[in-house]
Amino acid sequence: MAVEQTPAQTGAQSRIHNIGYRSYDGQRLGRAYARRSLYSQSLRGAYGLGRSAKSKVLPMLLFAVMCAPALIMVAVTVATKAHKLPVEYTNYAIIMQGLIGLYVASQAPQAVSRDLRFKTVPLYFSRPIETADYVRAKYAAMTSALFIITAVPLVVLYVGALLAKLDFTDQTKGFLQGLVSVALLSLLFAGIGLVISAVTPRRGFGIAAVIAVLTISYGAVSTLQAIADAQGTTGAVPWIGLFSPITLIDGVQTAFLGATSSYPGGAGPGTGEGVLFLLAVLGLIAGCYGLLMRRYRKVGL
Amino acid sequence: MPRQLFGLTTGVVCATTVVDVTVIATESLSKRFPRVTALDRLSMDIGPGVTGLVGANGAGKSTLIKILLGLSPATEGRAAVLGLDVATEGAAIRERVGYMPEHDCLPPDVSATEFVVHMARMSGLPPAAARERTADTLRHVGLYEERYRPIGGYSTGMKQRVKLAQALVHDPQLVFLDEPTNGLDPVGRDEMLGLIRRIHTDFGISVLVTSHLLGELERTCDHVVVVDGGKLLRSSSTTDFTQSTAILAIEVTDTDEHPDGTAAMRDALHARGVDTHDGSGLPGAGHILLLTAESEDTYDLVRDTVAGLGLGLVRMEQRRHHISEVFTDSDEQQSTAHHSAGKEAVGHGG
């Protein structure tokens, strides 16, 4: 690998010698490797690993709080020998959406704003990796981080359900449906979080904007749904659900993943309407990716 | 140097030999934005060694670097770096080239080691090699124990060293250094320039360094290219510059015996047949004498004269051209006006 250009001096082993500049003839692993490295660095960063102790606090705390209810539910189920879990796998993320939103808001800006704010981006693009590599690595890392925080509680529930000797087939089916649902949720939330944070180099603005977008859209949608439900126009309830990320996910899993809708009156979309929900989700994900690509093509050097 | 560098037209024959002698070549390279022409038919060949790229702000230096890194397409013309075409082989170029940007680019919350290791991996170095190269490179640029502390607490000089380290960590064949002395104090400047010199002499890496100060590049570079308004103004080896500009600036103290030490010194030098100028228009004018150093003897002569008069020698330093004079020179050449001798040239040097 590295070759010493100046012969090492003889003498006591403990002495430090100036061995001069050594050139590097070893492997250069190229773009795919760089992309993977950026992915793992960003994923670790999303949980504060490899960063200061202070930045570990919030993600770790949120992770613990996400898992705690699952643990309690499992404990209750096992202790009371109940015949089913207190909550469906698909419903867990919907109930905990506030925390998920908080996690996206705190970590998405961290993932992209730092590089923008401290102008580190040109250092990446002066290397073999390109815009697409950077965007994909960041998007994948954020999605994985979200998947971890949403899927681990489901694993806890599943393991608990098996310990409580609940029906294996039922539980496995529900668990897998839940995993698909949170995977979709992770992709969608990561996309929205990253696009919003990539617009501003200021982390604070990013955090506030992500929280605002997620809570305001959900607040507005659920209020309208409640009004529609109360006025008896139940038919409108699912359609209103198209307009916020979390109700979109709810719609998709109601239509395809055997979930019970959390919409007022349980009036989720049917399979036909569900296709539109699924398309909306996929469209949003693709749109977020496109916007990120556009953004990073501009910031270049 | 040969235009056939573009092996595209002249075949493979020259591909290997030309790479050895030409590091960067451009051929009527132009870059036009809707409103501005950043580069205007720039043709040049740059060999190995340290090359200075001098130009005022907005002269097109950064645009040129962007094109050479293969990140921005040229409007017309061609360019090759290390024998690779910038339009089609940008990724291969970026693997072999290091880049140190002009602006701040360091996150404050990580240590220099962590940051440079990460950047090494982004260049494709395997984890173990990345750590080893990082330790080596940081030591070479002069960062020791402080490399484990967060970058936020570094001085400007230390930050510049980290920026340099990340450009060198993957052992490139060529580095682009964009204004590396920006924001440094005189001592920091000298250290940085010494480091740049070593990048070539000790590390064997060719350097393209930009600056708007010709003076500091003259001391460091083998070759200086001057651009203005996107056009090539002058491209020559630095010996051309220095030979014509060995001007000494002298400042002496006043004593009771010689209330005007400068005047006394001037008269004494005149008496010995040395012509002086008073450096009017310069900071400290009236206290500074400028004279042309014909040879090493001039230094001795000045020393003896000062000692003979019993004055204190405050300074004796070499003065060099300021970039503006290169522009003036070339304007004069263009308008075929009289070309004044180099000894009139004054400017701020080291």
pLDDT tens, residue by residue, A258-277 = 888 889 888 888 888 899 99
A129: distance to nearest CA of chain B, Å?
7
pLDDT recorded at residue B20: 53
B/e letters for A134-154, b = 16+ CB within 10 Å, e = fewer, are bbbbbbbbbbbbbbbbbbebb
- B89 and chain A: CB distance < 8 Å anywhere? no
- State the pLDDT confidence band at A300, using cuts at 50, 70 and 90: low
**Does residue A2 carry a pLDDT above 50?**
no
User: Averaged over A31-38, what is the pLDDT?
Assistant: 95
Taking alpha carbons only, the member of B246, B214, B250, B239 closest to residue B348 is B214
Residue-wise pLDDT tens digits, B95-142 = 999 999 999 999 998 999 999 999 999 999 999 999 999 999 999 999
Write the CB contacts of A55 (distance below 8 Å, at least 6 apart in sequence).
A48, A110, B109
User: Averaged over A28-46, what is the pLDDT?
Assistant: 94
How many C-alpha atoms does B210 have within 13 Å on its Cβ side? 22
Q: Decide: residue A133, CB within 10 A, 0-12 exposed, 13-18 middle, 19+ buried.
A: buried
Conformational region of residue B336, where left means phi above 0, alpha means psi within -120 to 50, and beta covers everything else: left
Beta-carbon separation of A120 and B121 below 8 A? no
> Which amino acid is it at B109?
D
Average pLDDT over chain A, rounded to an integer: 90
User: Averaged over B41-53, what is the pLDDT?
Assistant: 92
Has this prediction a pTM greater than 0.95?
Answer: no
Q: Which residues of A touch B202 (CB under 8 A)?
A: 20-21
pLDDT recorded at residue B117: 97
CB atoms within 10 A of CB A88: 19
**Does residue B310 carry a pLDDT above 80?**
yes
B/e letters for B201-239, b = 16+ CB within 10 Å, e = fewer, are eebebbbbbbbbbbbbbbbbbbbbbbbbebbbbbbeebe
Measured distance CA(B339)–CA(A131) in Å, rounded = 51
Q: Which of A117, A126, A129 to mutate to test the interface with B (most CBs of B within 10 A)?
A: A126
- B125 and chain A: CB distance < 8 Å anywhere? yes
Which alpha helices (DSSP H) does chain A contain, by range? 30-46, 53-80, 89-95, 97-117, 121-125, 131-163, 168-199, 203-230, 236-240, 245-256, 271-299
Measured distance CA(B116)–CA(B255) in Å, rounded = 55
**Does residue B13 carry a pLDDT above 70?**
no
- B81 and chain A: CB distance < 8 Å anywhere? no
CA A173 → CA A158, A179, A275, distances in Å?
A: 10, 10, 21
Percent pLDDT > 70 in chain B is 80
- Give the residue on B whose Cα is nearest the Cα of A127: B94
| Contact between B261 and B309 (Cβ < 8 Å) | yes
B229: distance to nearest CA of chain A, Å?
21
Q: Using alpha carbons only, how large is chain A's radius of gyration in Å?
A: 24
**Does residue B300 carry a pLDDT above 90?**
no
Residue-wise pLDDT tens digits, A134-183 = 999 999 999 999 999 999 999 999 999 999 999 999 999 999 999 999 99
Beta-carbon separation of B95 and A51 below 8 A? no
User: Averaged over B221-234, what is the pLDDT?
Assistant: 87
Residue-wise pLDDT tens digits, B191-202 = 999 999 999 999
Please enumerate residues of A whose Cβ is less than 8 A from a Cβ of B.
1-2, 20-24, 26-31, 33-34, 37-38, 41, 50-52, 55, 114-115, 118-120, 122-130, 300-301
- Give the residue on B whose Cα is nearest the Cα of A55: B109
Q: Which helix (H) or strand (E) holds B138?
A: helix B127-140
B/e letters for B290-310, b = 16+ CB within 10 Å, e = fewer, are bbbbeeeebeebbeebbeebe
- State the pLDDT confidence band at A15, using cuts at 50, 70 and 90: low
Write the CB contacts of B346 (distance below 8 Å, at least 6 apart in sequence).
B247, B277, B279, B281, B282, B290, B319, B322
pLDDT recorded at residue B200: 94
pLDDT recorded at residue B330: 47
pLDDT recorded at residue A279: 96
| Contact between B124 and B198 (Cβ < 8 Å) | no
pLDDT recorded at residue A17: 55
Beta-carbon separation of B107 and A21 below 8 A? no
| Contact between A233 and A225 (Cβ < 8 Å) | no
| Between residues A16 and B17, the one the model is more confident about | A16
**Does residue B207 carry a pLDDT above 80?**
yes
Beta-carbon separation of B123 and A28 below 8 A? yes
Report the SS3 class of residue B69.
coil
Write the CB contacts of B176 (distance below 8 Å, at least 6 apart in sequence).
B65, B68, B69, B97, B98, B99, B100, B167, B208, B210
Q: Which residues of A touch B95 (CB under 8 A)?
A: 28, 30, 127-128
Q: Which residues of B touch A50 (CB under 8 A)?
A: 114
Beta-carbon separation of B107 and A119 below 8 A? no
- Give the residue on A whose Cα is nearest the Cα of B167: A123
CB atoms within 10 A of CB B286: 12
Q: Using alpha carbons only, how large is chain B's radius of gyration in Å?
A: 23
Q: Which residues of B touch A24 (CB under 8 A)?
A: 125, 129, 133, 170-171
Percent pLDDT > 70 in chain A is 93
Mean pLDDT is lowest, of A182-191, B21-30, B309-318, for B309-318
Provide the token pair at A81: 């020998």
Q: Which residues of A touch B109 (CB under 8 A)?
A: 51-52, 55
Q: Predicted ipTM?
A: 0.86
| Contact between A264 and A237 (Cβ < 8 Å) | yes
Percent pLDDT > 90 in chain B is 46
| Between residues A180 and B18, the one the model is more confident about | A180
pLDDT recorded at residue A16: 54
B120: distance to nearest CA of chain A, Å?
9
CA A69 → CA A63, A170, A173, B107, distances in Å?
A: 11, 21, 21, 37
**Does residue A111 carry a pLDDT above 80?**
yes
| Contact between B52 and B71 (Cβ < 8 Å) | no
- Nearest beta carbon to residue B121 from set A21, A34, A120: A34
CA B151 → CA A28, A41, B106, B112, distances in Å?
A: 27, 18, 7, 6
> Which amino acid is it at A113?
S
CA B141 → CA A138, A236, B158, B161, B197, distances in Å?
A: 31, 67, 9, 6, 12
**Does residue A297 carry a pLDDT above 80?**
yes
A214: distance to nearest CA of chain B, Å?
29
Which alpha helices (DSSP H) does B169-309 contain, by range? 186-201, 214-220, 238-244, 261-271, 296-309
| Between residues B344 and B133, the one the model is more confident about | B133
Beta-carbon separation of B125 and A26 below 8 A? yes
A187: distance to nearest CA of chain B, Å?
25
pLDDT recorded at residue A150: 97
Provide the token pair at B240: 């051309």
- Nearest beta carbon to residue A123 from set B125, B166, B202: B166
